[in-house]
Amino acid sequence: MNNAFLQYHQPSFSGLIGVSKTDITPPAGIYSRNWGAAKNSVYTGIHQSLELTCLSFQSVTTDTKLILIGADLGWWRNADDEKNLRLQLLEALGLDESQLMFCLSHTHAGPTICSDYRNEPGGDLILPYLEHVLQQAIIASKNAMARAQPATLDWRYGKCTLATNRDLAQREKNRLILGYNPGQPADDTLLVGRVSNEQGKIIGTIVNYACHPTTLAWDNQLLSPDYVGTMRAVVEKYTTAPCLFLQGASGELAPAEQYSGDVGLAEKHGRQLGFSVISTLESMLPVNTGLVHSRVVESGAALAIWERFRQTPATEISADLIRVRLPLKALPSLAEIEDELRSCTDAVQKERLLRKYNVRKAAGDESHSSTGLWIWRLGSSFLAGQPNEAYSEFQLSVRQEFPSFAIAVMNIVNGHLGYLPPSKWYDSDIYSVWQTPFEAGSLEALTNETIKAIAKNIDN
């Protein structure tokens, strides 16, 4: 028998790890129009607090230092807002651009983090709020680094059926609409990271799962992290440690029941994911422990006996920032979109045009756009983050290539521009295709570059 099948190692990383979290709940009167169908531009209250969680990773032998941030925010509509915040954060922490991943949960019930809306009701609160988020991110990052201690991060894949396919054919109009499609499978992969100190106590968890937080929509009147808030509360009660959520490649994934004004439904979804996280944690071996096939006992059948052994965790740590050139569609000019905006009186259409304007502005006038791809190695695991809304094919393909590594895959990292659907959808009338500035083949190009980058790191 191949020796590779006689041992089981939990993917792991050992180094100095710090954990911190802080509250980033905005005032209820902030501009928060995230749905074209919404009747109001501000929420009247708060369902659950919005939080920012930070993990710092440091090598015990080198000066390499990485900061991972997860924030209960939606998406960046103005590229300059994101860039300004991130560059100030990098400067305050003394980090290189490759050493920070600022990841958004993608809640659709949060504040509109876009300075272009500053003249709208509650828009005057947007810039002060962005400054608040920056300052809280600096504090959380510095606290995490100050609290860093010898610890092990180990990983386990699990399952959760909260996410369903949301590309549904509306045949009478020959288009695809966004809603539960029971006829198509959905990636139910859940990846859980457990951070344990030298005494074996859990000091933090990471949850990487792909599912749009669109439970709460236009009828909702409360600021909310959507299902992520309750998931986090469930896990933190169980572990008594902070939980950091990373949105996966969820371009076509969402709950079956969504677009609701019922916060109880968001809480139900959060419990579903939270209990799946706890189940995955319970399936894990003790920290720094593996299994080895030790002997065969002849009984009614030949029984394989596996025993625990002390596993030495991996210590490799690195950070790479790769610029991936993605082809752009033929897009209308900014002047053309501005002309449409001036004459538009329909609220839904105006919201679409404003989004199109910011996408066009960020994409530029070239034939290709350079998008960032962050690849971090932490021992026998990798974190792959990028700013767009990739379909789940991205994470499925990357993970399939590296089955012996834990691969965390994240959307909406260090920016946001558009969807990355598979090429097969580009002949369809579907939101993800007409919203994106990227041409067919972009998802596949990003996937190939990610696989190449991880393989190169492993080979080196």
Residue 104 has pLDDT above 80, yes or no: yes
Q: Out of 63-77, 340-354, 420-434, which region has the weakest mean confidence (pLDDT)?
A: 340-354
Within-domain flag for 381: no
Mean pLDDT of 302-319: 95
Q: Which whole-number Å values give the CA distances from 280 to 152, 190, 203, 407, in the listed order?
A: 17, 8, 17, 16
pLDDT confidence bin for 336, thresholds 50/70/90: confident
Average pLDDT over residues 148-154: 97
Higher pLDDT, 13 or 351: 13
pLDDT for res 1: 42
pLDDT in tens, 15-34: 999 999 999 999 989 999 99
CA gap 317, 13 in Å, rounded: 8
pTM > 0.85: yes or no: yes
For residues 359 and 417, give the distance between their C-alpha atoms in angstroms, rounded to a whole number.
6
Question: How far apart are alpha carbons 266 and 207 in whole angstroms?
Answer: 17
Does residue 139 fall inside a structural domain? yes
**Per-residue model confidence as pLDDT tens digits over 209-234:** 999 999 999 999 999 999 999 999 99
* Eight-class DSSP state of 124: G
Measured between alpha carbons, how far is 134 from 92 in angstroms, rounded to an integer? 10
Flag whether pLDDT at 411 surpasses 80. Answer: yes
pLDDT for residue 132 is more than 50? yes
**Per-residue confidence (pLDDT) for residue 435, from 0 to 100:** 87
pLDDT mean over 327-352: 76
- Computed over every residue of the chain, the mean pLDDT equals 94
Phi, psi of 58 (to 5 degrees): -135, 145
Please, are residues 71 and 102 in contact by the beta-carbon 8 Å criterion?
yes
Q: Does the pLDDT at position 396 exceed 90?
A: yes
Query: Considering the domain boundaries, does residue 249 fall inside one?
Result: yes
Expressed as residue numbers, the domain containing 144 is: 8-285
Q: Average of pLDDT values for 342-371? A: 74
Would you state the structure tokens that stand for residue 300, as one six-digit string? 């009614």
Per-residue pLDDT averaged across 232-239, rounded? Answer: 98
Give CA–CA dist 135/235, Å, rounded: 26
404 located within any domain: no
Residue 267 included in any domain: yes
Q: How confident is the model at residue 205 (pLDDT cuts 50, 70, 90)?
A: very high
Residue with token string 């790769």? 322
- The Cα 295–Cα 293 span in angstroms is 6
Contact 352, 36 (CB under 8 A): yes
3 pLDDT band, cuts 50/70/90, is: low
Count of the separate structural domains present in the chain: 1
Q: What was the pLDDT predicted at 288?
A: 94
- Please check the confidence at residue 4 and state whether its pLDDT lies above 60: no
Give the DSSP letter string of 124-156.
Answer: GGHHHHHHHHHHHHHHHHHHHHHT-EEEEEEEE
**Locate tokens 């033929």: which residue?**
330
User: CA 427, CA 25: separation in Å to the nearest integer?
Assistant: 41
Instruction: State residue 438 phi and psi, 5-degree precision.
Output: -85, 145
Asked if the model's pLDDT at residue 2 lies above 60, the reply is no
